Structure 1
């Protein structure tokens, strides 16, 4: 792996990262849904987006889901879902509109465990707002369609470009690594039965391979 510093990331690598970023966006039209699932991550902006969408009347109840991971254990030591819930409440989301799922450690569990929480609460779901980091949209969609095919997911995130999102992070290299990790999972997880198959254009595969060859591989799957 090439040891990149953020200030050495080439314009070509940044352009390739924008291609991967754009592919992760599902482009769904925002609409009111039966419920929402907010996928825990290291980005507290996802919880803020959830609050905005609640106040806009996009859903009556939300499940915050997520334990901790290597990426989040220092920032969210009590669990992603717990910290997200507290932030959403501070932004005016009523506690009675929130359900908590604090055990999930991967996207499949995020969806599966959240489904169980909603079923136990007696909430009928036909459409689901999936709220995530921008580069998690496609993987979240594919996972939901695999594990909960009866529900129509609508994916939404903070409406930020790659460059805008980079400006909110300390390490651009790490962010590109994470884009790559999600990209690989979009391609590989259907083979493992974790997600539905999605068409990946050849230019996107070529972009992925170039970035991998340039050392953006920290978050790729173990060999």
Structure 2
């Protein structure tokens, strides 16, 4: 049973991750690989709305995707996009990235190799990772104007689509931890985290929503949060 306080804390982390960007036409859409085919669906929707002439899907596999996406996250995204009416010529696949930093670096290298000029990009991620993805992209490819995008849905709707509330809350906690500790490691830009978001994160971690935390960095994250 998930308590009312846990739901409220999870909602606060969810809301903080939303960047609130309005989609607009960009040079390319980059769909970040994950367990969630909704990322591919969101990228396809943007393509059909004329927001990008080209989609890059990036991602290998992880512990959460190797069984359900054995051909790789990017390849499964590509297949989904084609099913939904995107022509193959409008899709590039980057099949090697295993984290968000590699998603950005490898996508950049692919686009540069194909001589695709990029001044702006729709960064398509899971709803609870918009801010983390944005902070990473701004750090690693700073001369691009980034517009965050994801499937528009509520926390409850997302949990229903995944079917595992604890997993989603664990992921919210893990994403927030990385926002706190990764800037010091120069993996992403630093962003202000409101005090109430930090308190929500700490309560959830204390209540055991820790499966996506970087264990060696839990204490340092707490110190950063209190700084």
- Normalization by structure 2: what TM-score? 0.94
Match of 1:142 among 123, 135, 140: 135
Q: Within 2, Cα distance between the matches of 1:169 and 1:147?
A: 30
Deviation at 1:138, TM superposition (A): 0.5
Question: Are 1:104 and 2:91 counterparts?
Answer: no
Of 91, 114, 130, which aligns to 1:121?
Answer: 114
Where in structure 2 are the equivalents of 1:29-108 lying within 5 Å? 29-108=22-101
User: How far did 1:105 drift?
Assistant: 0.2
After TM superposition, give the deviation of residue 46 of structure 1 in Å: 1.0
Q: Distance in 1 between matches of 2:171 and 2:39?
A: 16
1:151 corresponds in structure 2 to 144
Q: Secondary structure at the match of 1:200?
A: coil
The TM-score normalised by the length of structure 1 is: 0.96
1:161 corresponds in structure 2 to 154
Q: Pick the aligned partner of 1:213 from 181, 200, 206.
A: 206
Deviation at 1:185, TM superposition (A): 0.6
Q: Which runs of 4+ in 1 moved over 2 A?
A: none
Q: Deviation per CA, 1:66-85, whole angstroms, max 9, x where unpaired? A: 00001111110110000000
Provide Cα deviations, 1:128-163, integer angstroms capped at 9, x if missing partner.
100010011101100011000000100000000101
Which structure's residues are more often helix, by fraction?
2
**Counterpart for residue 220 of structure 2:** none
Gap runs ≥5 in structure 2: 217-227
3-state SS, counterpart of residue 218 of structure 1: coil
Distance across 2 between alignment mates of 1:79 and 1:181: 23
1:20 lines up with 2:13 in the alignment: yes
> What's the counterpart of residue 224 of structure 2?
none
SS class of match (1:100): strand
- Unmatched runs of 5 consecutive residues or more in structure 1: 1-7
Q: Secondary structure at the match of 2:156?
A: helix
Q: How many residues of Structure 1 are paired with residues of Structure 2 in the alignment?
A: 216
Secondary structure in 2 aligned to 1:167?
Answer: helix
- The higher relative CO (CA closer than 8 Å, separation ≥ 6) is in 1
In structure 1, the partner of 2:190 is: 197
SS in 2 for 1:50: helix
1:222 CA displacement: 2.4
